């Protein structure tokens, strides 16, 4: 059974060759634009663009499918919540005096009878869903396409505290160890005749609860080992040190940063001047 891994992609593309600071500029620009826009069409196209970039840069399809599968229940709940209940905010956003009914529950139903799913509320739910997916896809697009050493060096060049950067990079390296530990415990369970695939939902929850104990203990033991290794090497957490890899902004890195800043600035100006990206019907 394959486990998701936090690691760099194997394909070398233009985006993967960028300095991490350039990718961070793209991350900030797209995040600001996604947060600024409320038009479901615009935000949806932005999300599809980020998804296409993830596929083009070699992000694992299994990871993307896992992300969609895990987030699907939350997205359905999000659509229903905004469609049925988020009436006042959607009215203010659309500037309308009333919402357009799209579906109404029978009045005979207990507790939820007469509930109305509005067209505007559903559109806003799609907007929020697209924004959430954009944010989720930006993380692997920027992190998975960067070597951990270059990621650390890029953040240090941004004058971030080295200890904070080291904790972040160590967390990325630590996740594969946790997944390997989970897989090892699951394989041990299978060798003992406990096939998770054939178990019911309740029995599977109980089995995973039992798996959590050795995984947590193993993770704590590995964390203690890392602490001992750092102490033995005299880790001080100071950024004033030598680095094996160089991190210099090249011409196309500066160009990407300039384009990201220009795109974000244009989106902000056009949104304020002509209402670009506003919710349908908003004045």
What pLDDT band is residue 3 in, cutting at 50, 70 and 90?
very low
Confidence at residue 53, expressed as pLDDT on a 0 to 100 scale: 93
Q: What tokens appear for 152 in the block?
A: 């650390």
Q: How is the chain split among helix, strand and coil, in percent rounded to 5?
A: 65, 0, 30
Checking if the pLDDT of 22 tops 90, the result is yes
What is the pLDDT, as a whole number, of residue 48? Answer: 96
Q: pTM of the prediction?
A: 0.77
Return the pLDDT at 9.
Answer: 67
| Residue 27 pLDDT | 95
- pLDDT above 60: residue 6: no
Query: CA angle, 27 as apex, 24 and 29 as ends, to 5°?
Result: 110
Close Cβ partners of 99 (under 8 Å, ≥ 6 residues apart)? 87, 90, 91, 116, 118, 119, 120, 121
Helices assigned H by DSSP within 115-250: 119-143, 148-157, 162-191, 201-232
Ordered by start, the domain boundaries in the chain are: 1-157+250-283, 162-238
Q: What's phi and psi for 20, nearest 5 deg?
A: -65, -30
Structure tokens at 105: 């529950």
% pLDDT > 70, the chain? 87
Model pLDDT for residues 132-170, shown as the tens digit of each residue: 999 999 998 988 888 877 887 888 888 888 778 777 777
- Return the pLDDT at 248: 76
What band does 26 get if pLDDT is binned at 50, 70 and 90?
Answer: very high
Q: Lowest mean pLDDT: which of 8-12, 123-127, 268-272?
A: 8-12
Q: What is the mean pLDDT of the chain?
A: 83
- Does residue 210 have a pLDDT over 80? no
């Amino acid at each position: 059974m394959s486990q998701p891994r936090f690691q760099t992609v194997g394909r070398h593309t233009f985006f993967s060759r960028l300095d991490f600071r350039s990718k961070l500029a793209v991350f900030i620009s797209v995040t600001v634009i996604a947060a600024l826009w409320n038009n479901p069409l615009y935000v949806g196209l932005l999300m599809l663009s980020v998804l296409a970039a993830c596929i083009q840069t070699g992000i694992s399809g299994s990871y993307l499918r896992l992300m969609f599968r895990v987030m699907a229940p939350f997205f359905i709940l999000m659509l229903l919540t905004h469609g049925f209940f988020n009436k006042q905010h959607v009215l203010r956003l659309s500037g309308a005096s009333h919402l357009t009914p799209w579906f109404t529950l029978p009045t005979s139903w207990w507790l939820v009878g007469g509930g109305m799913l509005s067209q505007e509320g559903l559109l806003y739910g799609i907007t929020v869903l697209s924004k959430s997916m954009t944010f989720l896809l930006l993380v692997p697009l920027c992190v998975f396409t960067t070597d951990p050493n270059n990621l650390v060096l890029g953040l240090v060049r941004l004058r971030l505290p080295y200890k904070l950067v080291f904790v972040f990079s160590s967390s990325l390296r630590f996740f594969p160890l946790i997944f390997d530990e989970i897989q090892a415990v699951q394989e041990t369970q299978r060798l003992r005749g406990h096939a998770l695939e054939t178990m019911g939902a309740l029995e599977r929850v109980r089995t995973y609860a039992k798996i959590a104990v050795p995984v947590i203990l193993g993770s704590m033991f590995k964390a203690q080992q890392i602490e001992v290794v750092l102490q033995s090497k005299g880790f001080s957490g100071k950024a004033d040190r030598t680095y094996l890899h160089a991190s210099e902004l090249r011409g196309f890195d500066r160009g990407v940063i300039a384009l990201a800043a220009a795109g974000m600035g244009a989106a902000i100006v056009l949104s304020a001047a002509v209402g670009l990206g506003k919710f349908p019907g908003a004045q």
